[in-house]
Amino acid sequence: MEEKKIDIKVDENVALGQYSNLAAIRHTKEEFIFDFAFVFPDGPKGKLVSRIILSPAHVKRFMVALESNIKKYEENFGSITPAEVPPSVGFVH
């Protein structure tokens, strides 16, 4: 069976990426919501930098891909030491 290829256009501002040092995950039966935020080191404030909403099936594929990539990373660079758990987070509009 021939593998299909998908070409994805990437806008420059998206290609630059966003730095996040905190992630929060919520879910319903229909979707998972991933909020990525930057928490400022000099105070108890932060800013949401990205929100990604995925179907449960896509989250499962993402988890498998993430586990595979973490394994490859640790094989090349050594074990990742988990950071301390951040304080609880509330989102304001």
What is the CATH number for 44? 2.30.31
Residue 52 in domain = yes
Query: Does the pLDDT value for residue 90 go beyond 90?
Result: no
Residue 68 in domain = yes
Residue 7 in domain = no
Band of the pLDDT at 42, cuts 50, 70, 90?
confident
% the chain with pLDDT above 90:
71
Residue 34 in domain = yes
pLDDT digits (tens, 9 = 90+) for 50-75: 999 999 999 999 999 999 999 999 99
Q: What is the pLDDT of residue 70?
A: 97
pLDDT digits (tens, 9 = 90+) for 74-86: 999 999 998 877 6
Total of domains in the chain = 1
Residue 91 in domain = no
Residue pair 47/19 in contact by the 8 Å Cβ criterion: no
- Which residue range forms the structural domain that includes residue 30? 15-77
Residue 39 in domain = yes
